[in-house]
Amino acid sequence: MPAHFPWLRILVKGILLAAVASPVWAAWRRNGFRLWQKLLIGSTLAILAYAAFIALIDGPGAPFMDRLPFEASAVLIAALALMVLLGLCEMWFRALDGPFPKLAGPALNIDRRKLYPWMGACAAIVALLYTLAHIGPASWHDNLSIAAWVCGIQACIVFWFLNYKARRFDYGRTALQASPWFRWSYTAGELDAWKPVAPGVNRDTWIGPDGLLCTGDYAPWTLYVYKLVRAEAPADLPSRLVFTFKKTSFGDATSEDVMSIPIPVGHQADLEVIERKLRALCPAAEINLQRLAG
């Protein structure tokens, strides 16, 4: 950046600082100092433990690494570094989102189960690349080895992120069904007229402090990767609630998800309570459910 544009440098630094400070401040307000204290202590201990381990196996007078082939020692160090990195990412996201819900029993395994085939396929591709690098022509070795390394490391990071989100959804779904604000049940034709429901899917709607669940579709309120930005009750028929969520995908890309929930007959009075509780949980969201509540 040219030296004669100091204001531009200050502007870029200010934008980067705001991008980092905004989620940190929001998480601080929601979770308080105690969780951030755990994050700082855990980060420091993880980094020190990694440095101590590397010094133990590869420092002066430590012949352990010298006995290993170069590829084995590189894999070992990279694996340890990746474990520390993903551990720090886990602590960072927990600081942003708060602790996982406390459950009386095991969490449902719905969103995580969807990832397992993709994890297995990715592991098979990395194993195939590694195998081809060693049994194929010598001219392929370097390129295939680099491809296996890059694919393996990127897959670990991506699947950690997706698994973190899936765990949050499974834990939130379980906690919501155990303790909702309201559980709406529908008559035989009330939901069928709204949208088709797959056989075996529970036809009720749960609304509570841990999110929203309707006909198998779950949405949390306040996660960093998925948060409520707008809730409204349109005045036109059919009577319904419309929730708009901001979804943050891997790489910080954002998009919106919209969920429309039919309001069963006789439950319009619930909207006042839902609005009050959502305003307390999601102060930054636009919430207006009074058009039907009255």
Query: How many residues are given for the chain?
Result: 294
Rounded to whole angstroms, how far apart are CA atoms 274 and 277? 5
**Mean pLDDT of all residues in 108-113:** 94
Q: Give the residue from 35, 47, 136, 138 showing the smallest Cα distance to 84.
A: 47
Predicted confidence (pLDDT) at residue 287 exceeds the cutoff of 90 = yes
Q: What are the tens digits of pLDDT across the range 6-57?
A: 665 666 555 555 555 555 555 555 555 555 566 666 667 666 766 666 666 6
Q: Under a CB-based contact definition with an 8 Å cutoff, are residues 163 and 225 in contact?
A: no
Alpha helices in 59-137 (DSSP H): 70-97, 111-135
Q: Under a CB-based contact definition with an 8 Å cutoff, are residues 112 and 170 in contact?
A: yes
Rounded to whole angstroms, how far apart are CA atoms 194 and 188? 11
Could you give the percent of the chain with pLDDT greater than 70? 70
Q: What are the backbone angles phi and psi of residue 226, rounded to the nearest 5°?
A: -160, 110
Q: Say how many Å lie between the first and final Cα of the chain, rounded.
A: 58
Q: Give the residue from 179, 207, 176 showing the smallest Cα distance to 272.
A: 207
Domain ranges of the chain: 7-98, 100-179, 182-293
Q: Under a CB-based contact definition with an 8 Å cutoff, are residues 65 and 57 in contact?
A: yes
By three-state DSSP, how is residue 144 classified? helix
pTM to 2 decimals? Answer: 0.77
Q: What are the tens digits of pLDDT across the range 181-209?
A: 999 988 767 777 677 776 777 888 999 99
* pLDDT in the model for residue 56: 60
By three-state DSSP, how is residue 53 classified? helix
Q: What are the backbone angles phi and psi of residue 287, rounded to the nearest 5°?
A: -125, 120
Tokens of 161: 């992120």
* pLDDT in the model for residue 137: 84
